[in-house]
């Protein structure tokens, strides 16, 4: 598999200055160009050389030059994960059944993909263009869990075997461990699974099983060791650590936007340090997943769901002694009080977040080839310019899995050409030449990112090498660098609604998060 290249230093710095011209004044850009020249003349080549040497070493260990630093960036978050990096995706699962039977079928399909991966029988991940994609992100299917730690969180892998695995089922924040595979690593019959699920929904009371996970690692890293001082809690936590995934059964009859919002932010719906908590409604067609983002990205989830959609409900398991075990914490009054107080603070924080679905009719000009992605970015740029009369940075994620241990690159979609187009549109003076220039600029940025020549990750790598070498270049203390990296609009799309219908996430502070997708006419 090809390695992620380290872009040429001068190329990145020139593209950086050009990207700034969309969000900064000419005088501010000129000041930054002075810092760029200074960096090129002194610290820059040292940082570039150090990064290139680091890239060779990381490639030999199965990483790329940014993958471990990227992971550390996630694991270093101290705030509650739903407010920092977790994402909630609504998933497209059709079913002719409903209620418990539907839930058992969907869980069976999902578990089948996890178990196929663990048995070593999963096909290679191939891009639409036929490129082999990095298998690194599939690692989370072993049932890994993120562990809150005092300074930087850790990752604990699940067992590498498919045999005798469990899932944890939540209902009204009460938890149950349920056997999901037999001794050969095959999923248990979905009829047996349905009977076990039916047992979990007999309670009418609400529990507190997942509450601690919503407090953020600054607090959870202090409270979790106290929780695990009791041997009974160690046993309970082991089930949580080693389960393939969590499945929540929900019985609220609410619209999908409300359900998506509640799963994203409201406590009680998942252990948010676990990679995946799938929520399946017993009363509507809603299916979604609360996704811990440190190990994988949306494109891998999209492929997982695609494979799960194709699973037939054919029971291949041997005779299975499926078990259902209620899971409970033993909590002292002191620990219970600390969790409750922390949860009250978290609940106050989430009141600042709102989620809306906006449907907009549109029609592409007949016979004109135009990227829907580019058009959506221009629409969002127009909206912010019409609202505030100025431009701030856009972030758009670009899938980089065709590279060893690839994650994402950042496409700075608010190009100078896009800013010119939007400004002219606002003045009712836009020309076809401006549209074509913006179209080409967007396409060039996409190609640069996909070829490993984006600027954001490279600048991050250079900054980290400067820290490693004890250097303090003015380039990274410049307000323009902070301005580029401080996103007003954090945007993303997976292209269609075949597997992921839509998703929501907490944007950066004072920012707006936008997921966009086009139907045929809206």
What residues contact 151, with CB distance under 8 A and at least 6 apart?
Answer: 76
Token readout for 15 is: 């593209």
For residue 249, the cross-strand partners are 171, 280
What residues contact 393, with CB distance under 8 A and at least 6 apart?
Answer: 23, 412, 414, 483, 484, 485, 486, 487, 488, 489
Q: What's the whole-model pTM score?
A: 0.95
Q: Where are the alpha helices (DSSP H) in 354-485?
A: 372-388, 416-426, 432-450, 456-469, 479-485
Token readout for 207 is: 């529990």
Task: Count Cβ atoms within 10 A of the Cβ of residue 519 and give its class: 0-12 exposed, 13-18 middle, 19 or more buried.
Answer: exposed
pLDDT one digit per residue (tens) for the chain, 522 residues: 899 999 999 999 999 999 999 999 999 999 999 999 999 999 999 999 999 999 999 999 999 999 999 999 999 999 999 999 999 999 999 988 999 999 999 999 999 999 999 999 999 999 888 989 999 999 999 999 999 999 999 999 999 999 999 999 999 999 999 999 999 999 999 999 999 999 999 998 999 999 999 999 999 999 999 999 999 999 999 999 999 999 999 999 999 999 999 999 999 999 999 999 999 999 999 999 999 999 999 999 999 999 999 999 987 766 667 789 999 999 999 999 999 999 999 999 999 999 999 988 877 777 778 888 999 999 999 999 999 999 999 999 999 999 999 999 999 999 999 999 999 999 999 999 999 999 999 999 999 999 999 999 999 999 999 999 999 999 999 999 999 998 889 998 988 899 999 999 999 888 999 999 877 655
Chain position carrying tokens 């005798």: 164
Q: What is the DSSP letter of 106?
A: H
As a whole number of angstroms, the distance between CA 98 and CA 283 comes to: 7
As a whole number of angstroms, the distance between CA 260 and CA 284 comes to: 13
39 C-beta neighbours (distance < 10 Å), count: 24
What residues contact 376, with CB distance under 8 A and at least 6 apart?
Answer: 491, 493, 516, 518
Tens of pLDDT, residue by residue over 389-447, are 999 999 999 999 999 999 999 999 999 999 999 999 999 999 999 999 999 999 999 99
Residue among 83, 35, 96, 170 at smallest CA distance from 459: 35
Tens of pLDDT, residue by residue over 139-156, are 999 999 999 999 999 999
CA atoms within 13 A on the CB side of 66: 25
| Continuous segment of H or E residues that includes residue 432 | helix 432-450
Q: At what angle do helices 372-388 and 416-426 cross, to 10 degrees?
A: 60
As a whole number of angstroms, the distance between CA 175 and CA 419 comes to: 51
As a whole number of angstroms, the distance between CA 21 and CA 384 comes to: 17
* Domains of the chain by start residue, with CATH: 9-72+358-515 (3.30.559.10), 101-350 (3.30.559.70)
Task: Count Cβ atoms within 10 A of the Cβ of residue 184 and give its class: 0-12 exposed, 13-18 middle, 19 or more buried.
Answer: middle
């Amino acid at each position: 598999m090809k390695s992620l290249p380290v872009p040429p230093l001068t190329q990145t710095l020139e593209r950086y200055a050009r990207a700034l011209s969309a969000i900064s004044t000419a005088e501010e850009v000129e000041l930054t160009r002075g810092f760029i020249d200074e960096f090129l003349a002194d610290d820059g080549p040292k940082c570039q050389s150090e990064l290139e040497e680091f890239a060779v070493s990381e490639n030999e260990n199965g990483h790329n030059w940014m993958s471990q630093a990227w992971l550390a960036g996630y694991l270093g978050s101290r705030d509650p994960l739903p407010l920092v990096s977790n994402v909630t995706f609504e998933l497209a699962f059709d079913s002719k059944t409903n209620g418990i039977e539907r839930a058992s079928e969907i869980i069976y399909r999902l578990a089948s993909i996890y178990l196929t991966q663990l048995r070593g029988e999963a096909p290679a991940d191939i891009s639409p263009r036929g490129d082999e994609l990095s298998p690194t992100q599939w690692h989370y299917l072993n049932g890994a869990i993120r562990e809150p730690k005092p300074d930087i969180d850790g990752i604990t892998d699940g067992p590498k075997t498919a045999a005798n695995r469990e899932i944890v089922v939540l209902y009204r924040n009460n938890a149950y461990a349920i056997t999901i595979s037999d001794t050969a690593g095959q999923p248990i019959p979905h009829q047996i699974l349905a009977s076990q699920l039916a047992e979990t929904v007999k309670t009418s009371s609400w529990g507190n099983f997942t509450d601690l996970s919503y407090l953020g690692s600054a607090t959870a890293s202090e409270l979790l060791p106290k929780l695990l001082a009791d041997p009974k809690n160690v046993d309970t936590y082991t089930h949580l650590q080693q389960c393939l995934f969590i499945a929540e059964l929900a019985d609220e009859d609410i619209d999908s936007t409300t359900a998506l919002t509640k799963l994203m932010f409201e406590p009680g719906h998942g252990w948010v340090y676990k990679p995946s908590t799938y929520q399946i409604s017993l009363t509507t067609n809603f299916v979604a997943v609360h996704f811990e983002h440190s190990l994988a990205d949306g494109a891998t989830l999209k492929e997982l769901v695609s494979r799960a959609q194709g699973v037939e409900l054919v029971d291949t398991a041997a005779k299975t002694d499926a078990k259902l075990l209620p899971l409970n914490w033993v909590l002292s009054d002191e620990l219970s009080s600390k969790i409750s107080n922390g949860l009250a603070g978290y609940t106050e924080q989430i009141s600042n977040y709102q989620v809306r679905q906006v449907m907009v009719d549109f029609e592409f000009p007949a016979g004109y080839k135009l990227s829907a992605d580019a058009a959506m970015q221009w629409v969002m740029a127009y909206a912010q310019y019409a609202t505030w009369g100025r431009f701030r940075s856009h972030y758009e994620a670009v899938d980089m899995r065709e590279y060893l241990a690839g994650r994402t690159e950042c496409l700075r979609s608010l190009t100078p050409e896009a800013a010119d187009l939007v400004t002219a549109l606002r003045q009712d003076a836009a020309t076809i030449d401006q549209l074509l220039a913006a179209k080409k600029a967007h396409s060039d940025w996409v190609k640069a990112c996909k070829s490993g020549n984006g600027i954001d990750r490279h600048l991050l790598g250079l900054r980290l090498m400067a820290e490693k070498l004890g250097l303090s270049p003015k380039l990274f203390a410049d307000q323009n660098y902070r301005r580029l990296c401080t996103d007003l609009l954090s945007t993303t799309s997976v292209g269609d609604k075949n597997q992921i219908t839509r998703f929501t996430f907490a944007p950066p502070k004072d920012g707006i998060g936008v997921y966009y997708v086009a139907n045929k006419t809206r």
